[in-house]
Amino acid sequence: MLIFVVGVVLFAYANVGLGLNGKIPAGMFEYGIAFAVLVGGAHLAVRWLAPWADPLLLPLAALLNGLGIVMIYRLQQSGRAGNTGGVISTMTTSTTLYQVLWSALGLGAFVAVLAFIRQPRTLQRYTYTLGAVGLALFAIPALLPASMSEINGAKVWILLGGFEIQPGEFAKLALAVFFAGYLVAKRDVLALAGRRVLGIDLPRARDLGPVLIAWGVSLLVLVFESDIGTSALFFGMFVVMLYIATQRTSWLLIGFLLFVFGAVVASRLFSHVGERFTIWLHPFDHVHTTAFQLVQGLYGLGFGGILGRGLGQGQPYYTPLVQSDLIITAFGEELGLTGLMALLIIYGLIVQRGLRAAIAVRDPFSKLLAGGLAFVIALQVFVIVGGTTRLIPLTGITTPFLSQGGSSLVASWMLIAILMRISDTARRPAPQPIQDEGMTQVVRAG
Amino acid sequence: MNRALRRVSLACLVMFVLLLVNVNWLQGFDAASLASEPGNGRTFSEQFQFQRGSIVTADQKVIAESRLNKNLGEYQRHYPVGPVYAPITGYDSLFSATGIEQAENKQLSGSDPALAVHNLIDLVTGKPKKGATVQLTINSAAQEAAFSALQAQGRQAGVVALNPQTGAVLALASYPTFDPNQLATLNGSKLVRNDKRLLRDPNQPLLNRALNDTFPPGSTFKIVTSSAAMTDGLSRRGITQDTPVYAPTKLKLPGVTEPLINFDGEACDNGSNPTGTGKVPLIFAFTVSCNTVFGNLGLQLGGAKLKQQATLYGMNNPRLAIPLPVTQSNFPLYEDRAQAAGAAIGQESDTVTPLQEAMLSAAVANKGTLMKPYMVDKVTAPDLTPLSTTQPTVLSHPVSPTVAGELTQMMITVTQSPQGTAHATADVPGIVIAAKTGTAQTGINNSGLDDAVFTCFAPAANPQIAVGVVVRGGGLGADASAPIAVKIIQAYLAAVGK
C-alpha cells in the first residue's frame, strides 16, 4: 500500500512539472527516493514498534503528506511557462525543501512517539503535567510581544531566529491527553450527580467548573490571539470528550449553548469576529475587500469543476494564502471535485480508523484519548474545508498534512502515532499461556 | 463509552457528508455561475492562454485575430482595421466583450459543445487548443465604403446594408466609432484608462448606432403607410399606385388646431391640383412625399392597422438578434386619430434603427417577403471542417408580391422622376435605385436639426442590396444620407461584379 502511495505522489509530482512547463520536474528522482526512504523507514519502525497497529493509518497519512508537498511545490512554481501568474507571498524557492524537511521531522516524531510510548497508559501518568504544558503552549504567543508572535494578524506563533512554531498545534495534543486523564478520573461524578430537568440530566453547579474553564480558555485564545479556528477546535474537542466520558447529552447541549453564546458575544464585541460572519453570509458584496480571499477560493473551486484543470494548469495563485489555510481550494481547482472528494474520503477513513481503535481498545483512558483525537481531525477538516467552501464562516486553521507549515505537520504525525499506538494495544492478541504450554508439549513429544 | 463513541462517529460521518455535498454543489452546479461572476479573474485570464478564433468577412478578410505576445506569453487580440469594423466585431478585453466577440464567444473561445470533440483530439495529440473561425456575411468593399462615407460627412450616423433575398448583413457601420485595439490591450491600467475615456466621450463612440440607436423614421415611413393602404384596400375598388388620393395643402386634424402641412407648406401639385383641393395619384404623392396625403391615409386607416403593418415590417420586436442584440423599433398603438395621422408620416413617437430602415427596403425588394437579418455566415473548426452554417429564414410577409411590385415602381420614381425627392442625389448612371427619403423633425416644436433618413435598394429590376441610413442632424434625407447609400451600392455592385 505504501508503494502505491509513493507511486501516486510521484505521478502527481511529474504531473505538476508537465502541467507547468511540459517537462518532468528537476529532482524527481531524488525527491522520490527521499520520500520512499522516509515512509519506508516509518513502515519498518511500525513493524518493529507497533506490529499490530492499524495498517491503513500510515499509508493514508503518508499519501496526504506527499500530496501536500507536491501541491506546495506546484504553488511555489506559481504559474505556467508563458503565464507566470502572481508570486505567492510568504513562499520562497526553498519552501518545498522546508516542507520536505518538516515531513522528515514529522516522521521522526512519529517514530519517537511509537518508541517512547509503548503503552498508551504511560501518558495517563502525566495528565496534569501535560495539562499545564498545553495551557502554557497556548498562552505563550499571547504573552509574547507581537513582533515575536504575530503573522497576518493571528498571534499564534513563536518566532525565533527565522523559525516559526505554532505552539497551539502541540497544545492540542497535550490538552487531549490532559482531558482524557482528567475525565477518566472524574467521569463518574460528572455523569451521576445532578438533577433531572425536562428529561435532561443537569450536572451539579460545581461540576460545571471544568467546562467553564475550558470555555474561558478558548475565549481567551480567541480574544488575545485572534484565532477563532483553534479556539473552536479546542472547545469542540473538550465537549465531545466530556460527552464520550459521561455519555450525557446534557454536556453536549451545554457546550453547544456556551459556544453559540460565546460566538455571538464575540462577534458583537470584536470586529474581526463579526466580519467573519458578514463575509460568510454576503461574500460577493465584499469581493474586493474583506471577502477577497474566500471569493477567490470559491472561484478556484468553480474553475476546477468536476475534473479539475490538472496539476499545474490552474490559477490558484489568485487566492491569498492558498498554500496554507486555503490549500484545499488549490486541490479543488487542479484536481477538481473528483480529487477533492478523494481527499475528503481519505480524511474520513483516518477518522474512522481512529474511532474504530477507540471502540476496540479496552482501557477507558485510551478510549477517550483516541476518540478525542479522531474527532479533532474530523472537526479540523470540517472547520477549514467547510470554511473555504462557505459551509460555515471561514476561520484560519491548517489543513492537517496538506498545508504549508511545520508545526501542524509534526503535530499531525504525532497524533497519528498516538492513534496507532492505541490501535496496536487494542488489536494485540492477549497472551495465551495455556495454549503455549500445549504447543511445547507437542514439540517435546515430537 | 462505546455508545457515545458510535454517536461521535455518526456525527463525524454527518460532517463529512455535509462537506461532500457542499463541494459537489459548488463544483458541480454552482461552477458556471461562479465563472460568470463579474470580477472572476480566472475566467478572463484563461481565455488569453490560447489562440482565440479569428473573425473574417465573407471575402476572407481577417478583421479580428489573436497573436502571441512573446513578452507576456499571452495571446493578444488584434483588429487589423479596427475602427471600420468596430460595431461588428466589438472588442474582447480583459474584463468584458461586446459585438461578435461576445455573441460568438463560445465558438471563438472553443468552449462550444460542438467543439468538444476537436478539443479532446487536440488534448490527446498535444496540439494547443484553438478557437473556431467565425465567417461573417459582411462584404469588405461595402463595409469600407460605408465607413469612409460616414467618416466623410462627420455627424453621428448609422448604416446597414442587407442582401434582400437572404437577410445577410453586407455592411454595418456606425460613426463616431472607436478602435477596439485600445480595449484589447493586456495592460490592465491602460485598458481602464482607455475605457474611461471612451465612456466619457459625449459622442458615445461605443454606441452601435446601426443597431442600438433609434431615430424618427420621417417620410420613409410612408412606405409602411402605402403598404397598409394598398393591402387593406380602403375603398371598394381597391387602391393602387395610380388611385387618385385626396391631396389638400392643409390637412385639418380632428381635435387639433394646427393643420398638417407639406414641406414648406407647399401644395401637393402634379400640375392638376394647383389649389390643393383635388386629388393626385398615390405614386405622385409618394414621389414628392406629400405629408397631407399620407396623413389623410393615416386618418382613414387608424392606429391599429398602421401598427399591424409596421409590426409586419419588423418593428415592435424586442428580441431581434442578428446575433448582436437589436434595439426595438417602435410603433405604438395610436388611439387618437390625429396622432395616427402624424405617425403615418413618421412623426409622433415612431422610432427606427438604421437596420429597420434597411429592412423596409429589403422587404419590398424581396417581393414582399422580409428575411431575418443575420451576420454570421458560418463557423469553421481550426481544422477547417465546417461546424455550422446559417440558413436564411423568413421573418414575415409584410406585403403581397403585387403590392411590393407597385411599391417598387413608386420608389423608382423617387430617384428617376425629375420631381422625385432623391432625383438630384440618387439618380446614378448605370444603376436604377429604388428609394424613399425622410427628413425627421426633432426637438421641442421641431427646433432641433432634422435627422436625415434614407432607405433604398438596387438595382431596382434585380435587387442585390438594400440600404438604410440615418444621419443625426443631417438635414434633408436626400442631401445627407442618400450619397452614403449610393457609395455603398456602387462599391458593393462593383465588388460582386453586377
Tell me the pLDDT tens digit for each residue of B48-88.
Answer: 777 888 999 999 999 998 888 777 667 888 999 989 999 99
Question: Rounded distance, CA A380 to CA B264, Å?
Answer: 86
pLDDT at residue A446, as a whole number: 43
Question: Rounded distance, CA B24 to CA A8, Å?
Answer: 24
Say which residue the cell 469581493 belongs to: A287
- SS3 (DSSP) at A54: coil
Cβ under 8 Å to B: A residues 50-109: 80-84
Characterize the bridge pairing of strands B55-56 and B133-136. parallel
Residue of A nearest to B39 (CA): A287
The residues with which B246 forms a beta bridge, in sequence order, are: B279
Say which residue the cell 466623410 belongs to: B152
Q: Given an 8 Å threshold on Cβ–Cβ distance, is A298 in contact with B73? A: no
Residue of B nearest to A346 (CA): B16
Q: Given an 8 Å threshold on Cβ–Cβ distance, is A305 in contact with B31? A: yes
Residue B446 has pLDDT above 60, yes or no: no
How many angstroms away from the CA of B91 is the closest CA of chain A? Answer: 22
Q: Given an 8 Å threshold on Cβ–Cβ distance, is B42 in contact with A83? A: no
How many angstroms away from the CA of B42 is the closest CA of chain A? Answer: 7
How many angstroms away from the CA of A74 is the closest CA of chain B? Answer: 17
Residue of B nearest to A300 (CA): B42
pLDDT at residue B102, as a whole number: 87
Which of A57-66, A294-303, B110-119, B423-432 comes out lowest in average pLDDT? Answer: B110-119
How many angstroms away from the CA of A302 is the closest CA of chain B? Answer: 4
Per cent of chain B over pLDDT 90 is 42
Question: Rounded distance, CA B18 to CA A204, Å?
Answer: 35
Average pLDDT over residues B467-485: 85
Would you state the cell numbers that stand for residue A46, as one nine-digit string?
511500525
> What ipTM score was computed for the predicted complex, to two decimals?
0.85
In whole angstroms, how large is the CA radius of gyration of chain B?
Answer: 27
Contact A393, A387 (CB under 8 A): yes
Q: Given an 8 Å threshold on Cβ–Cβ distance, is B28 in contact with A337? A: yes
Contact A327, A68 (CB under 8 A): yes
Q: Given an 8 Å threshold on Cβ–Cβ distance, is B23 in contact with A352? A: no
pLDDT at residue A86, as a whole number: 55
Q: Given an 8 Å threshold on Cβ–Cβ distance, is B16 in contact with A344? A: yes
Contact B467, B489 (CB under 8 A): yes
Q: Given an 8 Å threshold on Cβ–Cβ distance, is A299 in contact with B28? A: no
CA distances from B44 to A82, A335, B92, B193 (A): 16, 20, 10, 19
Angle separating helix axes A364-388 and A327-360, nearest 10 degrees: 160
- Residues from chain B contacting residue A382 (CB–CB below 8 Å): 15-16, 18-19
CA A341 to chain centre: 17
Between chain A and chain B, how many beta carbons pairs sit less than 8 Å apart?
Answer: 148
Kindly list the domain boundaries of chain A, sorted by start residue: 2-430
- Domains in chain B, ordered, with CATH? 220-345 (3.40.710.10)
Question: Rounded distance, CA A34 to CA A295, Å?
Answer: 37
A348 interface with B at CB cutoff 8 Å: yes
Q: Given an 8 Å threshold on Cβ–Cβ distance, is A358 in contact with B5? A: yes
Residue of B nearest to A296 (CA): B40
> Digits of tens for pLDDT over chain A (446 positions)?
778 788 888 878 777 777 776 677 777 777 788 888 888 899 999 989 888 888 889 999 999 998 998 888 888 876 554 444 555 556 677 778 888 888 999 999 999 999 988 888 888 888 888 888 888 887 787 777 777 777 766 677 777 766 778 888 888 888 889 888 888 887 777 766 666 666 566 666 666 676 677 677 767 766 676 677 787 888 888 889 888 888 878 778 888 888 888 778 877 877 777 788 888 888 887 777 777 888 888 888 888 878 877 787 777 877 777 777 888 888 988 888 989 999 999 999 999 999 999 999 988 899 999 999 999 999 999 999 998 888 888 887 888 998 888 888 999 999 999 999 999 988 888 766 555 555 555 555 44
- Residues from chain B contacting residue A84 (CB–CB below 8 Å): 73
CB atoms within 10 A of CB A279: 21
CB atoms within 10 A of CB B238: 11
Residue B39 has pLDDT above 80, yes or no: no
CA distances from A9 to A60, A109, A324 (A): 12, 22, 19
Question: Rounded distance, CA B441 to CA B345, Å?
Answer: 11
CB atoms within 10 A of CB A210: 15
What is the identity of the amino acid at A307? Answer: L
Through-space distance between the first and last CA atoms of chain A, rounded to whole angstroms: 40
Closest CA relative to residue A155, chosen from A231, A263, A233, A227: A227
Handedness of CA A142, A146, A152, A153 (dihedral sign): positive
Average pLDDT over residues B97-119: 80
Q: Is B289 a catalytic residue?
A: no
Say which residue the cell 454576503 belongs to: A282
Select which of B219, B226, B227, B481 is catalytic. Answer: B219
**pLDDT band at residue B491 under the 50/70/90 scheme:** very high
Tell me the pLDDT tens digit for each residue of B173-217.
Answer: 999 999 999 888 877 778 888 888 888 988 899 999 999 999 999
**pLDDT band at residue B308 under the 50/70/90 scheme:** very high
Question: Rounded distance, CA B417 to CA B425, Å?
Answer: 12
pLDDT at residue B443, as a whole number: 55
Query: What's the mean per-residue pLDDT of chain B?
Result: 86
Q: Is B332 left (phi over 0), alpha (psi -120 to 50) or beta?
A: beta
A299 interface with B at CB cutoff 8 Å: yes
- Residues from chain A contacting residue B3 (CB–CB below 8 Å): 247
Q: Given an 8 Å threshold on Cβ–Cβ distance, is A315 in contact with B42? A: yes
Q: Given an 8 Å threshold on Cβ–Cβ distance, is B27 in contact with A378? A: no
Half-sphere exposure for B49 (CA within 13 Å, toward CB): 20
- SS3 (DSSP) at A370: helix
Tell me the pLDDT tens digit for each residue of B319-349.
Answer: 999 899 999 999 999 888 888 998 998 888 8
The residues with which B172 forms a beta bridge, in sequence order, are: B160
pLDDT at residue A185, as a whole number: 83
Residue B391 has pLDDT above 90, yes or no: yes
Q: Given an 8 Å threshold on Cβ–Cβ distance, is A244 in contact with B9? A: no
How many angstroms away from the CA of A159 is the closest CA of chain B? Answer: 34
Residue of B nearest to A239 (CA): B8
- Residues from chain B contacting residue A284 (CB–CB below 8 Å): 37
Instruction: Considering only residues A208 and B421, tell me which one the structure prediction assigns the higher pLDDT.
Output: B421
Q: Cα angle vertex A14, ends A9, A17, to 5°?
A: 130
Cβ under 8 Å to A: B residues 26-55: 26-28, 30-35, 37, 39-43, 45-46, 49
pLDDT at residue A111, as a whole number: 93
Residue of A nearest to B42 (CA): A315
Closest CB to A83 among B8, B32, B49 = B49
Residue from A183, A328, A375, A394 to probe the interface with B (highest B Cβ count within 10 Å):
A375
